[in-house]
Amino acid sequence: MADQSQSVGIIANPVSGRDIRRVAARGGVSSAEDKRNRIARAVIGAVAAGTQHVVAMKEPFGIASGALTDLPVEADLEILDVGARVDPMDTARAALAMKERGIRVVITLGGDGTNRTIARAWPEAILVPMSTGTNNVFPSLVEPTVAGAAAGLVAKNLVDLNSVAPRSKMVHLTFADGSGDVALIDVATLANDFVGNRMPVDPNNLRQLLVTTAKPDTIGVSSIAGLHTTCRSEEDAAILVTCGSGGALTNAPIAPGLYRQVPVRDVKRVNFEEEVQLAGPSTLAFDGDREHQVLADTTAIAVVRRDGPRVVNVARTLEAGASEGIFVTR
């Protein structure tokens, strides 16, 4: 068995890119076959960069096992069985199992929600996130072959980790009962909504929006902030948007193929560790998923810190590897 401290893990959310939000918007569908193909390309890239051991999460759709079966690479390919039941806990269990085994870097296939699940279970993880979800601000649209190669270079300690994989920002929330949760990209308070709702946000229900990354070229509610100001992943700050009647109408792409007029009343910059009160009654959505209720006359407290997973910058990693001549044999 190869040294697992130099291994690459793969966690593919089998239902990312396939939920009901595609009925109300026009997001692309990421099929099981597409995910198999992406995994195969990523593994080939990782092995080309020197990886000798790849561990992929097993799930009922056979995505990883189908991708790795008879793949012509000189490496130990392993399927990790975490008793997957096709729910978010599959991703969390896989992350914890890979953490326990000391796996160095994990390639993820999913959206903001998939990566948030991993971050909640394993905030020190080193991730190469590839987009296959609905909201894809945290992961990137990158060719899996080179994403895998970048993961391989990081796994083999051939590049400086601090230079190519900075830690991400994370929103930490504390509720009135003392419990907590996290988000990677955005937290939204919604009136007249409910936990578990998978439909796109009604812009008239938006009240507050706290985003760690605000850019005008993203999809989802974080784009609302991005159309007013910019806050990049490397900036030690966040953006708080207050919405409601009488605000300036902002035409924002709140879902793939779905622009809506959002009334924006105020936009302000928030510093790290600055407490933001998210007021009830409201439903809280984290990275696109409605998961908590805030009761009337109570608040949730949110603060932003740079203590989320490390995210591998694929281009920067390959530049570093190329400058060292890692891919050239003389």
Q: Provide the CATH number for the domain around residue 94.
A: 3.40.50.10330
More confident residue, 143 or 85: 143
Highest mean pLDDT of the ranges 62-66, 219-223, 310-314: 310-314
213 shares its domain with 256: yes
Does the pLDDT at position 23 exceed 70?
Answer: no
270-283 mean pLDDT: 96
241 shares its domain with 259: yes
CA distances from 138 to 23, 114, 176, 184, 253 (A): 23, 10, 28, 7, 17
Residues whose CB is less than 8 angstroms from the CB of residue 59 and which lie 6 or more positions away in sequence, other chains included? 12, 14, 84, 86, 90
Which residues are bridge partners to 121 per DSSP? none
Question: Domain holding 178: CATH number?
Answer: 2.60.200
pTM (two decimals): 0.92
234 shares its domain with 313: no
94 shares its domain with 24: yes
* pLDDT of the residue at 22: 47
89 shares its domain with 219: no
Q: Is residue 214 part of a domain?
A: yes
175 shares its domain with 196: yes
Task: Look at residues 145, 180, 169, 175 and name the one whose alpha carbon lies nearest to residue 48.
Answer: 145
209-233 mean pLDDT: 96
Q: Is residue 221 part of a domain?
A: yes
314 shares its domain with 288: no
Does the pLDDT at position 295 exceed 80?
Answer: yes
301 shares its domain with 162: no
Q: Is residue 328 part of a domain?
A: no
**Which residue range forms the structural domain that includes residue 277?**
170-305
Residues whose CB is less than 8 angstroms from the CB of residue 87 and which lie 6 or more positions away in sequence, other chains included? none
Does the pLDDT at position 175 exceed 80?
Answer: yes
* CA–CA distance, 134 with 288 (Å, rounded to integer): 8
Q: How many domains does the chain have?
A: 2
* pLDDT of the residue at 316: 97
CA distances from 71 to 37, 48, 172, 202, 308 (A): 11, 13, 41, 45, 33
